[in-house]
Amino acid sequence: MTIHIGARPGEIADTVLLPGDPLRAKWAAETFLQNPKCINEVRGMLGYTGTWNGNPVTIHGSGMGMPSLSIYVNELIKDFDVKTLVRIGSAGGMSSKVKLRDVVIAMTSSTLSTPSLGMFKEINYAPCADYDLLAAAVAAAQHLKIKTHVGGIYSSDVFYDERPDLTEQLTRHGILAVEMETAELYNLAARYGRRALSVCTISDHLITNESMESEERERSFGDMVEIALTAAFS
């Protein structure tokens, strides 16, 4: 049990999926896990542990943004010794190659700032995914015949951005999508020698201004959960 996670010892699996939204954690656990049990409700952040194909899995909300995710991932690693962490969440498309509902597997994540910035000081550290997880996710997507894109994404530290110049340069340099958590997840995984990956569904698009309705988001997000689970246990 920690300040933010009320689970008892042994209640959190070695593999954790991390949606930002606690209600999405509840939906994913009830949809994909066998015998899911709620193991955390502290501050309304829900976590569930069950099994998938006989493998223990925890699905735990991380909140919105890197500071929130940093709290949960630090505690999951340092207090519960979690080995594999896979973010599952929504992202905004930033490339004409990426369409609404497509899945993006983040090889790297660029950012202006993370909670780790003070530690790195003048170093522009390049956060990246665990290669074995990345390769397994790509293979899983191909096997499941799910359309995916693999490449760099952008982790923003603000939701209401007012930097069209930044968006232009990121798009110019091949960034596929924007979200708010992956860069810090990859920083922490590297720091503590853990495996991490981010698998996101495109729910809206910065270029076309398209967006998915809330009900449609739930139905479409199943693909990324299947990819994440398959990759984690490949």
Q: Is 48 helix (H, G, I), strand (E, B) or coil?
A: strand
Long-range CB contacts (within 8 A, 24+) of 123-127 = 125/187, 127/182, 127/183, 127/184, 127/185, 127/186, 127/187, 127/190
Q: 120, 28, 21, 37: which is closest to 69 by C-alpha?
A: 21
Please tell me the number of Cα atoms within 13 Å of 66 on its side-chain side. 25
Q: pLDDT truncated to tens, each residue of the chain (234 aa)?
A: 899 999 999 999 999 999 999 999 999 999 999 999 999 999 999 999 999 999 999 999 999 999 999 999 999 999 999 999 999 999 999 999 999 999 999 999 999 989 888 888 888 899 999 999 999 999 999 999 999 999 999 999 888 888 888 889 999 999 999 999 999 999 999 999 999 999 999 999 998 999 988 777 766 789 999 999 999 999
- Catalytic residue annotation: 204
pTM for the full predicted model:
0.95
CATH superfamily of 15-232: Nucleoside phosphorylase domain (3.40.50.1580)
| Residue ranges covered by each domain of the chain | 15-232
Helices 131-144 and 222-232: crossing angle in degrees, nearest 10, is 130
